[in-house]
Amino acid sequence: MKNLKPLVLCFLAVVLVSCKGGKPENFDYGKVVDHTYSNEYFGMSIDLPVEWYVQTQAELEDMAKAGTELLGDDMVTKAKLKASEVNTANLLSVFEFDPKTNVGNFNSNLIIIAENIAMAVGVNSGEDYLKATKKILQQTQLNYSFGDDSTGTKTFGGQEFAYMEAVLNHQGVEVKQRYYSTVSNDFSFNVIISYMDEEQKESLIDILESIDF
């Protein structure tokens, strides 16, 4: 099995806003205490498995930089990713195994990312955000596919999320993803899970079931 850890973050930064809204002064990146991630700005928390690996903010940023290398000479998308840094916040990244030592298995993972949509025209809901995300993913050089029945809604912690399923084929390996999106405090609040089989998918959804808003 190829080690696909650089893939995890390159598809997350989505540029929807031409004017930069930035982050409010009271914006909170959240913290993990006793295996629970909490974020005061979004008023939410999520319980994390004790044995899973939680990336530091520095590791998360390094992973994002490594992920952009997969875009090759796609300079337009790279420019968009760079521009999005003022609006986008990588809040949480957790892996089933330590990415530094896992080499034999696909490392299923969960990522939470927020993007300022205060000035995004036509983006008022999680569904709107995912439609824009799909369009941008299809414009990259990455090999994404989307099924006809790949969208829906799901409620976690009393908050309704729109979701979208996607499959990324990278060097002959298919990585399955589900993108969840909702709107909170003028931000698109997004959770992305990546997995290869139903067992990994169910483990990730079990984690999502612990979300509390």
Q: What pLDDT, on a 0 to 100 scale, did the predictor assign at position 203? A: 97
- The CA distance from 90 to 65, in Å, is 12
Which class would CATH give 5-208? alpha beta
CB burial class (10 A; 0-12, 13-18, 19+) of residue 120? buried
Q: What pLDDT, on a 0 to 100 scale, did the predictor assign at position 147? A: 83
Three-state DSSP state, 144: strand
- Could you tell me if 109 and 96 are in contact, meaning their C-beta atoms sit under 8 angstroms apart? yes
Q: Could you tell me which of 61, 169, 182 has the C-alpha nearest to residue 117?
A: 182
Residue 195: count of CB within 10 angstroms of its CB: 22
Q: What pLDDT, on a 0 to 100 scale, did the predictor assign at position 202? A: 97
Q: Taking the CA of residue 186 as centre, how many other CA atoms within 13 Å lie in the half-sphere pointing to its CB?
A: 12
Give me the residue spans of the domains in the chain.
5-208
Local confidence pLDDT in tens for the 213 residues of the chain: 444 544 444 444 444 444 456 788 889 999 999 999 999 999 999 999 999 999 988 887 776 565 544 455 555 444 444 444 557 888 999 999 998 888 777 889 999 999 888 888 888 999 999 998 888 888 877 788 998 788 999 999 999 999 999 998 877 888 899 999 999 999 999 999 999 999 999 999 999 999 999
How many helices (DSSP H) and strands (DSSP E) are in the chain?
A: 4, 11
The pTM (predicted TM-score) of the whole model is 0.85
Q: 198 is written with which tokens?
A: 């139903």
Exposure letters 144-163 (e unless 16+ CB within 10 A, then b): beeeeebbeeeebeebebbb
Alpha helices in 96-173 (DSSP H): 126-139
- The CA distance from 97 to 107, in Å, is 6
